[in-house]
A and B are shown apart, each in its own frame.
Chain A
Amino acid sequence: MKNIEFKSISAQRIYNDYLKRVERTISILSEEDKLDMLMEINSHIYEAMQQGSNENEIDKLLTTTEKLGLPEVFLVPVVAEKKLIQAVHTFNPKHVWQALKLNISNGFGYIILSILYLGLWVFGFLIFTKLIAPSKTGLFYMNNEFKGFGFVSNGDQMNEIFGFWFVPIAMAAAVIFYVLITLLLGLLKSK
């Protein structure tokens, strides 16, 4: 991409800084989408700078960037949307997490999704702890009273119900959560 050249060093610095902020905001997009959005903003600034005549270069640039707004604010819908598509297609935990973070403000569906996603990780974690600390992980009862589920620090002093069946049960729960997340992601995307 060809950058705009300004006569004034200060204008050049303001422009460079603005583009850097745009780049930072859209850094999670694919290289192709990133370049497309950067070129679009660059073109907008260039065209705006060509308008009018004698206005000071810095003033004109500041007016243009002010009218565009803060990249961290106005570009969020693009980033959130693109990230969601990426998450649905790849189901890469990194993309899913970023999509959830960006879309959480969009509604209740994403809150449910976040809880399911957390649940998925919790079951994954519990399978791991069951293997390294079997007596402290599971469903615990003491004197016929429910005492806890998951990783319990004093679990070895209580009765654990599932034994090593806990591992397949947690695996099944994780699979159910995974399916629910995939379905919900698809549903939210098509909304």
Chain B
Amino acid sequence: MTNEFVHKWSSQLKKGTLSFIVLNVLKDAEYYGYELIEKIKHDTKIEIAEGTFYPLMNRLKKEELVASNWVEQASGIPRKYYQLTEHGEATLVEMKDYWISMSETIQKLF
């Protein structure tokens, strides 16, 4: 991306939609932190700043949109699995509706 303005705008957009992406990914299965980051990178081609991912998960948990539990592993280093809560599912439906209506509105401007 050569245009600096577009570059800044797109990174702001990605940052703003990251929670929406995380909730979408979690609607089908539960993932542990590292796996979730890799899944998002793979599916969306978005390079997540990995450090910022954990504070985001913390916030989603505080808002009760996701829940988590530690699962022991043979290695002795447990994984923290994240799941979407009922409140998270309902919120995701609302977010999707808003996303669709906003995208339609913007497309009308093209």
Contacts and interface: CB of A to CB of B under 8 A. Distances in A.
A and B, one complex? yes
Nearest to B76: A2
A61 B50 CA distance: 14
Interface string B46-65: 00011110110011001000
A45 B52 CA distance: 15
A81 interface: yes
A43 B80 contact: yes
A77 B55 contact: yes
A173 interface: no
Given A43-B32, A81-B58, A74 B76 contact: no
A39 B34 CA distance: 12
Contacts of A70: 51
Given A44-B34, A67-B50, A39 B55 contact: no
A67 B55 CA distance: 15
B80 to A, nearest CB: 6
Contacts of B32: 43, 47
A46 interface: yes
A27 B34 CA distance: 24
A68 interface: yes
Nearest to B33: A44
Contacts of A44: 33-34, 50, 54
B44 interface: no
Contacts of A142: none
A32 to B, nearest CB: 12
A42 B77 contact: yes
B70 interface: yes
A80 B17 CA distance: 22
A2 B77 CA distance: 6
Contacts of A40: 33, 54, 80
B76 A47 contact: no
A48 B77 CA distance: 13
Contact of A47 (B34, B52, B54, B70): B34
A38 to B, nearest CB: 11
17 contacts: A2-B76, A2-B77, A39-B70, A40-B33, A40-B54, A40-B80, A43-B79, A46-B77, A69-B49, A74-B54, A74-B55, A75-B51, A75-B54, A76-B55, A77-B55, A78-B54, A81-B55
Interface of A: 2, 4, 37, 39-44, 46-48, 67-71, 73-78, 81
Those 4 A-B pairs whose CB atoms lie nearest each other, nearest first: A74-B51, A69-B51, A47-B34, A77-B55
